[in-house]
Amino acid sequence: MSRTPNTRLQALMQAAGLSPAQLARMLRSVAAERGVLQASYDHTTVRRWLAGARPRPPAPALLLECLSRKLGKPITAQDAGLTRTPATVINWSERDPGRLILQLARAECDPARQVLLGAGPFSLSALSVMDLGTPGDPTAQPTDAMVVPTVSQRAHIDQMGAIAALFHGTAERYGGQSTRAALAAYLADRVAVFIGAPTRDSVHPQLLSRIAQLALLLGIASADSGDHGISQYYYRGAARLATQAGDSVTFAITLRMMATQAYDLGHRTPAVLNLAEQAVAHARHAPPAVLSYALSQLAVVQAHYDRHAALASLARAEHVHARIDALPGPFTDYPAGALYFQRAQTLSALGDLIGARAALKISLRLRTAAEPRATALTRAYFAETHLRIGHLEQALTQWQTFLAAYPTLHSTRAARHFQNMISQLQPYRRHPAARQVLDEASAVGQ
């Protein structure tokens, strides 16, 4: 991009009422929200962009997110004058959720198109469930299904379920970044033949459900990779496919993940609360694991609105959880360690740090060898809770164990906890044990 003034960016900033200094502050805030470890943007940085300098990654994605939030609508790289490449990487107006997911997966497999793909911002306006439909609504069902042989399709339905379990297990162990590329390639190659293809009425909903579940896993992996805008598209595509399949279970799980993503990014708005409430509403007839899963997140969000409602939802989640008898699987089980982690989050939001600490201790005891990533994240949160109470020695013990597992994790959530550890220990740098942890962290981060 030549060094000619970026008039498009200037116009958007004016429309948003943002000065260079104000935009720089927003950039730093969104960067921290996404776990970007180094973000030193200031008003001079923004002025260079206005003069025509090209922002370097991850600045474009952060910039588009800031503008989108202020203006209340998605802003593309073309809108902001950040690229001259036509916006043809993805047809964002594609109405068919399966075809949009396929475009996204194919773009992930093409390094030349990943740059523009990664520019998609997380959108608060995309948290609405109004346009996602309702599972079981006849008007949401596809009408172009045809009769063809189904033996192969049934085999592929089973295969997709096994593949989903494989990718989910790997992501749980090592983080979403470890599976995202391979899962996108599988969807773009092996699953693509079923997207938009004619099928028997009897198997079509099952195919749509499997594709929705794979898209949901890609959304989780994208969020854990820090690409929250792309994650939203996968989530919304998964929700719409679940609607077409009449699959209220996958629909409820997807809404729950959308609420979790927004909450983890620091959003406590009524839209996030509504997402969590809708997840519970659609899970009311689901297996106990799914209902408990939805209720626990609702409790976390409700803690910022209504203490009584939060504790009631948490109690109900624990009561329902006791009825789980399903085999482990990405859409059939809810580990007890995860439930106690949500209990800790709820109690922490309510100001009960002692109760949160007790819940985290139980969560760690219940974590299994198949959950190294979740165990490490729980230890990091446990350490932060100890420090908030004033127990430095206990916090250091948990952080040391977290550090031992950190190099094997490919997760922005883990990276955010890693950065939190460094910043929270700086005031204790003269403490010998704290200094040792900081030194170990420095060595790990090199």
Residue-level pLDDT, tens digit, the chain, 446 residues: 456 889 889 999 999 999 999 999 999 988 887 666 667 899 999 999 999 898 887 888 889 888 888 887 768 777 888 865 544 456 656 678 888 888 888 888 876 555 556 555 677 777 888 778 888 664 555 434 333 445 567 788 888 999 999 999 999 899 988 899 999 999 988 888 777 665 556 678 888 999 999 999 999 999 998 888 889 989 999 999 999 999 999 999 999 999 999 999 999 999 999 999 999 999 999 999 999 999 999 999 999 999 999 999 999 999 999 999 877 788 889 999 999 999 999 999 999 999 999 999 999 999 999 899 999 999 999 999 999 999 999 999 999 999 999 999 989 899 999 999 999 999 999 999 999 999 999 998 65
Q: Report d(CA 375, CA 377) in Å as an integer.
A: 5
Q: Report d(CA 64, CA 53) in Å as an integer.
A: 16
Q: Report d(CA 248, CA 390) in Å as an integer.
A: 44
Residue type, 383: A
Q: Report d(CA 84, CA 110) in Å as an integer.
A: 19
Buried/exposed 400-431: b ≥16 CB within 10 Å, e otherwise: bbbbebbeebbbbbbbbbbbbbeebbeebeee
Torsion of CA 70, 73, 76, 82, to 10 degrees: -20
Q: Report d(CA 79, CA 125) in Å as an integer.
A: 18
Quick check: 254 and 443 in contact, CB under 8 A? no
Quick check: 354 and 386 in contact, CB under 8 A? no
Q: Report d(CA 140, CA 94) in Å as an integer.
A: 16
Q: Which run of H or E residues covers position 54?
A: none
pLDDT value at position 289?
96
Contact residues for 189 (Cβ-Cβ < 8 A; gap 6+):
none
Residue type, 429: R
Residue type, 305: Y
This prediction's pTM: 0.80
pLDDT value at position 90?
64
Q: Report d(CA 367, CA 379) in Å as an integer.
A: 11
Structure token pair of residue 17: 């009422």
Q: Report d(CA 408, CA 290) in Å as an integer.
A: 29
Domains and CATH numbers, the chain: 7-71 (no CATH), 93-246 (no CATH), 268-370 (1.25.40), 373-446 (no CATH)
- Residues for the chain: how many in total? 446
pLDDT value at position 178?
85
Torsion of CA 213, 214, 216, 220, to 10 degrees: 140
Region class of 86: left (phi > 0), else alpha (psi between -120 and 50), else beta: beta
Structure token pair of residue 196: 């938009």
Could you give the 3-state DSSP secondary structure of residue 358?
A: helix
Spacing of C-alpha 399 from chain mean position: 24
pLDDT value at position 347?
98
